[in-house]
Amino acid sequence: MKIALAQQNYHIGNFENNRAKIIEGIGLAKKQGADLVVFSELCICGYPPRDFLEFDDFINKCYESLDVIKQHADTIGVLVGSPARNPLKEGKDLFNAVFLLHEKEIKAEVHKTLLPNYDVFDEYRYFEPAFEWKIIEFKGKKLAVTICEDIWNMGDNPLYRITPMEKLMPFGPDVMINLSASPYNYAQDVVRNSIVRAHTQKYQLPMLYCNTVGSQTEIVFDGGSLVYDVNGSKVKEMKYFEEDFQVFQLEELSKVNASAGKAAGGSYFYSAKEAGAGINTLDYLSDEKNIGEIYHALILGIRDYFRKMGFTKAILGSSGGIDSAVTQALAVAALGKENVRAILMPSQYSTSHSVSDAEQLCKNLDNPYDIIPIKDIYGSFLSELRPVFKDLPFSIAEENIQSRTRGNVLMAIANKFGYILLNTSNKSELATGYGTLYGDMAGGLSVLGDAYKTQVYALARYINKKQEIIPVNIITKAPSAELRPDQKDSDSLPEYDTLDRVLYEYIELRNGPKEIIAKGFDKVLVDRVLKLVNTNEYKRNQFCPIIRISCKAFGIGRRVPIVGKYLS
């Protein structure tokens, strides 16, 4: 049996586009002589559909798409993911399902058992878990079909009480097939490979794992579909961050190699937290492969957000600092130089090299830019506020007026010419509240909000690896908001090398103060940093969508109270 994997980029609720992609994939599979073609989880509607699932009209359109697609499943079997109605009154109204289409009919329906309800996932809000398990018989083969999370219940601390493959093994399957929508983070490829390999070794069956690709608002799906043979050997790792299509011969995958090494003792699986637990963020990101993955994930995140929303042009404030420089370079790579407009807005506190560095960056990237000094606008604000401010000393109020002036200028141009404002704040700043609401925190999409400052520097070096795009002075100079004379970030925050390590321990690894201090960090520093994180949730709660690259990003995957006393 020849089985094709179609790794495709879908658009949530764009049924016509998704149908066309799937039908195109079926056609390609037929041309290559495949007996079965596998698509990804909820490919009919796109993942994650969230509260669209509460609309009967949305579900009706899913079934209408199935009716159209099954007409193309005549001589070939097709496995597609779609919501399915629950015929029972008890439980949720829907299942997360896979349909086998063949001979222009729905031949089988499989339901997802393990419904993730953590981080960016909230499937139990919508779906009923499977309550029966069966293999699919197709062309003389028994297929053990599972859906994404169904294969993740392995290791020393399983999250669920049921493991679907344990329910399917008594039926004697010939192959495992998993339809997935597994989001990217910078440890996920390690975790994903470990779990697929573990399955082939434990159950002594080959596995074909089809993952989706593309970005849906803040979540990036990286593809990287996998095929492992019966011996636990990787046969294919498909492309990352782009669509791909491959065909595999099941008989070849099922050949036992007596000399193939089996798994060493210990756990079959790492969780995302376990995979990241030993990672020192800075050291991990010094590896070119990892920073390269993040670079491509961010470009895909920008490109898909604009394409799927129907936007074409971006605007950003270019300060001559590292964050705006990296954001600008990424945006140009994602959208094209002619579609990214930079606005330089010097004040009386801006250094001359900040303007010249920002100008040089625009020249290197060859994107349009304007220089709009804000000194007079800022002066008008102060003049009008003088009766209220009286003779009170200069403070954060005057600093924030500058930032909000810049935000106002950027939004005015964006509104006038139809641009989308890209936010340039990094994760270190968002974590500690080092930003101005309605000023430098304004934007329609945050490019670097899940990248720590040290990661931003690593990205800058990666961008410059072949030629100098970001001027070296931007990378080497001390970071500053330039809102008062001789200001440096280090006046308000610990040095980023130290700060980011503490933040990583707290945010990604969810370690408490005692655990972090036990790793050698100063108690006063740790208490201060954790307090900053927790007391600034109100700012992040008003922030724009953030492209997710870590296992714990600010946004929908991290839900903490605004009004809370813990560590604050």
Flag whether pLDDT at 353 surpasses 90: no
The 10 Å Cβ neighbour count of residue 356 is: 14
Is the entire prediction scored with pTM above 0.75? Answer: yes
Helix axes 352-365, 322-335, angle to 10 degrees: 20
What's the pLDDT tens digit per position in 91-106? 999 999 999 999 999 9
Flag whether pLDDT at 264 surpasses 50: no
For the ranges 132-136, 349-353, 526-530, which has the lowest average pLDDT? Answer: 349-353
What's the pLDDT tens digit per position in 358-403? 999 999 999 999 999 999 999 999 999 999 999 999 999 999 999 9
Q: Rounded to whole angstroms, how far apart are CA atoms 456 and 475?
A: 10
Residue type, 90: E
Average pLDDT over residues 116-125: 96
Q: Rounded to whole angstroms, how far apart are CA atoms 123 and 50?
A: 8
Label residue 277 by pLDDT band (50, 70, 90): very low
Q: Rounded to whole angstroms, how far apart are CA atoms 40 and 82?
A: 9
Q: Rounded to whole angstroms, how far apart are CA atoms 372 and 369?
A: 10
Q: What domains sit in the chain, N to C, each tagged with a CATH number?
A: 2-259 (3.60.110.10), 284-493 (3.40.50.620)
Q: Are 98 and 180 in contact (CB under 8 A)?
A: no
State percent of the chain over pLDDT 70: 94
Residue type, 81: G
Average pLDDT over residues 125-145: 97
Q: Rounded to whole angstroms, how far apart are CA atoms 508 and 284?
A: 14
For residue 138, which of 76, 82, 199 has the smallest C-alpha distance?
76
Beta bridge partners of 315: 341, 421
Residues 6+ positions from 387 with CB-CB distance below 8 Å = none
Q: Rounded to whole angstroms, how far apart are CA atoms 331 and 303?
A: 8
What's the pLDDT tens digit per position in 149-186? 999 998 778 899 999 999 999 999 999 999 999 999 98
Active-site residue set: 41, 112, 148
Q: Rounded to whole angstroms, how far apart are CA atoms 181 and 18?
A: 15
232: left (phi over 0), alpha (psi -120 to 50) or beta: left
Q: Rounded to whole angstroms, how far apart are CA atoms 11 and 322?
A: 33
Note the pLDDT of residue 258.
73
Q: Rounded to whole angstroms, how far apart are CA atoms 497 and 512?
A: 19
* 477, HSE (Cβ side, Cα atoms, 13 Å): 22
- Mean pLDDT, the chain, whole residue set: 93
Flag whether pLDDT at 557 surpasses 50: yes
Q: How far is CA 339 from CA 309, 417, 454, 507, 546, in A?
A: 15, 12, 28, 35, 21
Q: Are 293 and 452 in contact (CB under 8 A)?
A: no
* 64, HSE (Cβ side, Cα atoms, 13 Å): 11
